[in-house]
């Protein structure tokens, strides 16, 4: 199986190989993964990749999934057009 073709984060085009590379470089937290790869920051806001990445981190680092700092969902839960925000209460 070619890890460079297995996408964990489709929004930011992050593959399994990309994740393994940064984990091998010493990254151990989901916050660091987000900063290096932008995972969970794309249009889906992590709805499709967050759990996949956390599970793979736990498996690859040989730690319990509970020890992975899975980011909490923040508002807005779904994307809002900037025009709607700019209108305010009008």
4 vs 62, which has greater pLDDT?
62
The pLDDT of residue 84 is: 81
The pLDDT of residue 81 is: 81
Residue 26 domain boundaries:
3-87
pLDDT in tens, 28-81: 999 999 999 999 888 888 888 999 999 999 999 999 999 999 887 766 666 778
> What's the burial of 55, exposed, middle or buried (CB within 10 Å: 0-12/13-18/19+)?
middle
The pLDDT of residue 75 is: 66
**H or E segment and range at residue 8:** strand 7-9
Domain count, the chain: 1
- Report CA Rg, the chain: 15
CATH number at residue 34: 1.10.10
């Amino acid at each position: 199986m070619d890890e460079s073709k297995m996408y964990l984060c489709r929004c930011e085009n992050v593959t399994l190989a990309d994740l393994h590379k940064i984990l091998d470089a010493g990254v151990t937290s989901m916050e660091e993964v987000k900063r290096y790869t932008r995972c969970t920051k794309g249009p889906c806001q992590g709805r499709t990749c967050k759990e996949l990445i956390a599970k793979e981190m736990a498996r690859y680092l040989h730690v319990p999934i509970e020890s992975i700092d899975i980011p909490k969902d923040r508002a807005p839960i779904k994307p809002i057009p900037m025009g709607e925000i700019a209108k305010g209460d009008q």
